[in-house]
Amino acid sequence: MLSKQFIYSLLILFVIKVNAQQEPQFSDYKLNISSFNPAFAGFYDGSVMLIHRTQFVGIDGAPQAQNLNLNLPINVNMGVGFNVINQSLGVTDETIITGDYSYSIYTNDITMLTFGLKAGVHVLNVDYTRLNIYDPSDMSFGTNIEGEVSPRIGAGVLLTTPKWFLGVSTPNFLNKNYNPTIEGSTGVSKPHFYFMTGYNTFLTEEIIFRPSILSRAVAGAPLAIDLALNFDYQDKFRFGVSYRWDAAISAIAGISVGKNIQVGYSYDYLTGALGKFSSGSHQFYMKFTFKRSDELRRICNCSFTDNPDSTLGY
């Protein structure tokens, strides 16, 4: 019990005393690329998706996150998106609401350079009454943060061909300073920068292999790197594994239910120090796709949940 309380305390300090607040993190990151790279907004078929992630099961106050993700193609050049991300961690609750816009330039018949813009708000709540405070008269925890709103502006670039893609983005490049009441503490939200690349190839007529790499950098925190090996089988099943450097190994699975519905699950086995206190992390998703006509669909294989156009012959 003491160990769990100690870890819980570390989680609280992570939120209210570190120099760089972390963006919400998802294991199966290829599901919701537009949440961190707006160039992917509406890039493929229109879809609505809901993701729920529970991290570090067994540790009180560990992160939980949900993402409502909407993508809508407008024409062969433009797309829009909408994201609502909610995350709770210890005594904090935060909600991120953003709208996305993307525009593609065709450099040749199959290569596109896409630019994306993201804009929205971040709402932060910190409720210190949820802490078991040793000295109730200590006014260091006397004032909660309630509904503090700050703007978010982000941008992204995506270079794609039928076989590979490369993306660079930041979901928010505005700094935000918070003023927690805890004496001597600081709270700063700093820009996160994402780099993503991947490749797609047919192993057989029925199996598509999709390796990818995602890295995330923010001042004041270690570089995060995810390596993923994903597969599609018969346009109905998706499965794979990923490795988050020095943190976790993830197993990923998904299945199509009918023509337009897809559900899936991923499990993280923790390889770092938190693995001694937690049984791992779980992520679930459900996606509904409302198909658009082929002439309004941009060519893209960067979403693990979208199938390539087999008529392209790759």
Question: What is the rounded distance in angstroms from the CA atom of residue 162 to the CA atom of residue 172?
Answer: 29
Q: Quick count: other Cβ atoms within 10 Å of Cβ 168?
A: 16
Task: Report pLDDT for 211.
Answer: 95
Task: Report pLDDT for 17.
Answer: 41
Q: Two tokens at 53? A: 């992630």
Task: Report pLDDT for 184.
Answer: 45
pLDDT exceeds 70 at position 293: no
pLDDT exceeds 80 at position 305: no
Q: Quick count: other Cβ atoms within 10 Å of Cβ 134?
A: 6
The stretch 75-91 carries a mean pLDDT of: 91
Band of the pLDDT at 198, cuts 50, 70, 90? very high
pTM of the full predicted structure? 0.83
The stretch 69-75 carries a mean pLDDT of: 93
What average pLDDT does the chain have? 82
Band of the pLDDT at 16, cuts 50, 70, 90? very low
Quick one: residue 131, left, alpha or beta (phi over 0 = left, psi -120 to 50 = alpha)?
beta
Domain positions in the chain are 2-308
pLDDT exceeds 60 at position 58: yes
- What is the percent of the chain with per-residue pLDDT over 90, rounded to a whole number? 50
Pick the CATH number of 2-308 from 3.40.50.720, 3.30.300.30, 2.40.160.40, 3.30.60.50: 2.40.160.40
